[in-house]
């Protein structure tokens, strides 16, 4: 009887998927977290058990991934990763596109860019890539001209023409929603806008075009990029089920980029 029982236990163990994998995935709170909870449910059917870990800023997820505390993260676009790799020497790489968050400009004091007065204060993200995309957006609206050599990493120092003498206040991206009462305009990343109860479609004065180089990505350590679990996570994320969820849940505020 004892032998039969042990044989049954052994058979049950060998019946478990040989590819079962437990992963820790870092995301920022808001849409990234919501989407990845759905991804986790899909990936689980393919033998991948994902624990979603939320962060409140853009600095910690890459540091945690590089140190081995995470297996993958989903919160950043390619220009941001490229800058982090150069500045912090991270050995990280993109393995797939996820979503695009067209960045928006918001205000509690004006309803149109035409109402901006001379010397108006504009809060922008303090990281080079997201700050740069805001300045490029404002340039496209005729508010300023940038040094063309600055490219995607433009900073306020690259403003070549500023007819309204706009003043730029650089803040951590997560703090920008709180700045709305203190500035004339604040450019807020869509994930932080949604988390703060701001509707990117209805509340933005102007918004970036959906087609941009700022598609978000799935990121792993370079040494892991060819491991089977990576392909499974990418497949789960880039599924029709996730595309439909993004369309129905965010109604254009977040756009599937796969």
Specify the pairing of strand 167-171 against strand 92-100: unpaired
Within a domain: residue 10? no
Per-residue pLDDT of 27-59, as tens digits, reads 999 999 999 999 999 999 999 999 999 999 999
The parent domain of residue 178 ranges over 104-207
CA-to-CA distance for 20 and 22, rounded, in angstroms?
Answer: 7
Per-residue pLDDT of 54-112, as tens digits, reads 999 999 999 999 999 999 999 999 999 999 999 999 999 999 999 999 999 999 999 99
Q: What is the pTM of this model?
A: 0.85
Same domain, 46 and 173: no
Same domain, 172 and 135: yes
Within a domain: residue 199? yes
Same domain, 151 and 137: yes
Per-residue pLDDT of 124-178, as tens digits, reads 999 989 999 999 999 999 999 999 999 999 999 999 999 999 999 999 999 999 9
Same domain, 30 and 156: no
Other Cβ atoms within 10 Å of 170 Cβ, number: 13
- Domain of 70: which CATH number? 3.40.190.10
Same domain, 112 and 85: no
Same domain, 202 and 110: yes
Same domain, 72 and 151: no
Same domain, 190 and 156: yes
Total domains, the chain? 2
Within a domain: residue 13? no
Same domain, 90 and 185: no
Same domain, 195 and 146: yes
Yes or no: say if 236 and 42 are a contact pair by the CB < 8 Å rule: yes
Within a domain: residue 186? yes
Query: Among 122, 137, 116, 130, which residue's Cα sits nearest to residue 83?
Result: 130
Same domain, 90 and 148: no
Within a domain: residue 12? no
């Amino acid at each position: 009887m004892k032998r039969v029982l042990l044989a049954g236990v052994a058979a049950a163990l060998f019946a478990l998927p040989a590819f079962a994998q437990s992963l820790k995935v870092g995301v920022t709170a808001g849409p990234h977290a919501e989407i990845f909870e759905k991804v986790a449910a899909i990936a689980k059917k393919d033998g991948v058990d994902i624990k979603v870990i939320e962060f409140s800023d853009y600095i910690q997820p890459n540091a945690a991934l590089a140190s081995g505390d995470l297996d993958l993260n989903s919160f950043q676009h390619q220009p941001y990763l490229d800058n982090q790799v150069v500045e912090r020497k991270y050995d990280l790489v993109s393995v797939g596109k996820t979503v695009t968050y067209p960045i928006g400009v918001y205000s509690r004091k004006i309803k149109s860019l035409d109402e901006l007065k001379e010397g108006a204060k504009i809060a922008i993200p303090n990281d080079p890539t997201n700050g740069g995309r805001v300045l490029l957006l404002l340039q496209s609206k005729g508010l300023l001209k940038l040094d063309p050599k600055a490219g995607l990493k433009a900073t306020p120092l690259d403003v070549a023409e500023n007819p309204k003498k706009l003043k730029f206040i650089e803040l951590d991206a997560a703090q920008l929603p709180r700045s709305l009462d203190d500035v004339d305009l604040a450019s807020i990343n869509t994930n932080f806008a949604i988390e703060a109860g701001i509707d990117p479609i209805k509340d933005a004065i102007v918004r970036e075009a959906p087609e941009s180089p700022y598609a978000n990505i799935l990121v792993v350590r370079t040494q892991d990029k060819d491991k089977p679990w990576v392909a499974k996570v990418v497949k789960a994320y880039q599924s029709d089920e996730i595309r439909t969820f993004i369309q129905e849940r965010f109604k254009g505020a977040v756009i599937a980029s796969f």
